[in-house]
């Protein structure tokens, strides 16, 4: 029997801007939605399209501090508040722009909607492409993220009495989510990412395993820079099914960042749609109620193509076409979207690949020896 799926979206997602030159471009969400629609993947008999709503203040205060939220509200005007600096707001990564609070409320609200749909049984899988803003901390913005929608959604699920496994495949370590649940055994956090020695936020090392009741419930698998599909997917297959199945969650929450791709402008990994599809199929094969969130991805073409492929897999649809629909390409002319849906395979050659495999295998073995028994 086909799974019931829900796609949560609003035209409001793409109406905001971090400013010219900033790598985070919300227009990527509209490009993704339009490509999914072009393939007819929103007209499937078992699919719902849900209009995204803003999160309530009560929902966001389940994680964020009142002081931070009041400052973020003031920043919504586009003028930098006096106390912005102490909350990570201002210039650079986390600019203050008109509507920053409203935009963040849509991201968080849509993730809570996904959690509501899945926990209630109204959907087996729910996808919020505007979610996955995994760096925001309780009292400050970080790494392009203002409200941590993943944490807020997981907090909702915990209040429903659910046991949650969170798996993050973004190039950047999911530090905000890990920090929120570092001392609990009710949430298993797994993050696969580029090593913190080379990439923001500089965390996510194997030794970060949790504290108190949470010891053994934070799993980190960092990869060397330049890692390709073969090595990253090997790590995924060795870690994710084993730890998730051992933990026995009620619900799976995933962050599906695509800044791992070799053409992403701000990271140093070499994944393609080929490895990404394998991991999405790996999530699907777990057969768990699934809250899927977006995440990083700063090449607009990669975001639209990869999340379209992800949504297809969630609906058990295999898109055969090699080239994107011509009408879609015409409608988004000027955004530089690739004409092909899938990338050509790419593999690092020679000794470098062998060394990456050895290094990653060594970390996997240590993780399994040291903390698998705790979960």
Q: Go through the domains of the chain in sequence order and give each one's CATH number.
A: 5-374 (3.40.800.20)
For the chain, what is the mean pLDDT? 97
Instruction: Work out the average pLDDT over 82-108.
Output: 97
Mark whether 135 is an active-site residue: yes
CB 70 within 8 A of CB 371: no
Confidence of residue 1 (pLDDT cuts 50, 70, 90): low
Is 347 a residue whose pLDDT tops 80? yes
**pLDDT confidence of residue 334:** 85
Name the active-site residue from 134, 135, 173, 193. Answer: 135
Confidence of residue 91 (pLDDT cuts 50, 70, 90): confident
CA angle 286, 291, 296 (to 5 degrees): 105
Tens-digit pLDDT profile for residues 238-276: 999 999 999 999 999 999 999 999 999 999 999 999 999
CB 339 within 8 A of CB 324: yes
The rounded distance, in Å, linking the Cα atoms of 112 and 157 is: 9
């Amino acid at each position: 029997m086909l799974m019931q799926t829900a796609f949560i979206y609003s035209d409001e997602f793409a109406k905001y801007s971090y400013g010219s030159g900033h790598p985070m471009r919300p227009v990527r969400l509209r490009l993704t939605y339009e490509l999914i629609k072009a393939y007819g993947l929103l007209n499937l008999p078992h699919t719902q399209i849900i209009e995204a709503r803003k999160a309530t203040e009560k929902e966001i205060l389940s994680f964020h501090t009142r002081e931070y939220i009041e400052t973020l509200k003031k920043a919504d005007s586009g003028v930098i508040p006096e106390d912005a600096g102490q909350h990570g707001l201002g210039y650079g990564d986390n600019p203050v722009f008109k509507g920053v609070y409203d935009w963040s409320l849509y991201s968080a609200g849509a993730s809570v909607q996904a959690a509501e749909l899945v926990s209630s049984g109204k959907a087996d899988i729910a996808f919020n492409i505007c979610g996955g803003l995994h760096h925001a901390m309780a009292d400050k913005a970080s790494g392009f993220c203002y409200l941590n929608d993943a944490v807020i959604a997981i907090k909702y699920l915990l209040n429903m009495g659910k046991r949650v496994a969170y798996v993050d495949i973004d190039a950047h370590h999911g530090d905000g989510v890990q920090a929120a649940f570092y001392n609990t055994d009710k949430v298993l956090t797994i993050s696969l990412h580029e090593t913190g020695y080379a990439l923001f936020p500089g965390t996510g090392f194997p030794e970060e395993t949790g504290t108190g009741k949470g010891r053994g419930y934070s799993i980190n698998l960092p990869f060397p820079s330049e890692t390709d599909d073969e090595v990253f997917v090997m790590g995924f297959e060795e870690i994710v099914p084993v730890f998730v199945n051992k933990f026995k969650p009620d619900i799976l929450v995933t962050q599906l960042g695509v800044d791992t791709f070799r053409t992403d402008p701000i990271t140093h990994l070499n994944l393609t749609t080929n490895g990404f599809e394998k991991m999405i199929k790996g999530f699907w094969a777990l057969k768990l109620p699934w809250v899927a969130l977006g995440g990083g991805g700063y090449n607009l073409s990669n975001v639209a193509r990869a999340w379209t492929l992800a949504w297809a897999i969630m609906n058990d649809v295999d898109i055969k076409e090699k080239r994107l629909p011509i009408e879609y390409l015409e409608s988004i002319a000027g955004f530089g979207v690739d004409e092909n849906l899938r990338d050509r395979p790419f593999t690092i050659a020679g000794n470098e690949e062998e060394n990456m495999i050895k290094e990653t295998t060594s970390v996997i073995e240590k993780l399994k020896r040291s903390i698998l028994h705790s979960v």
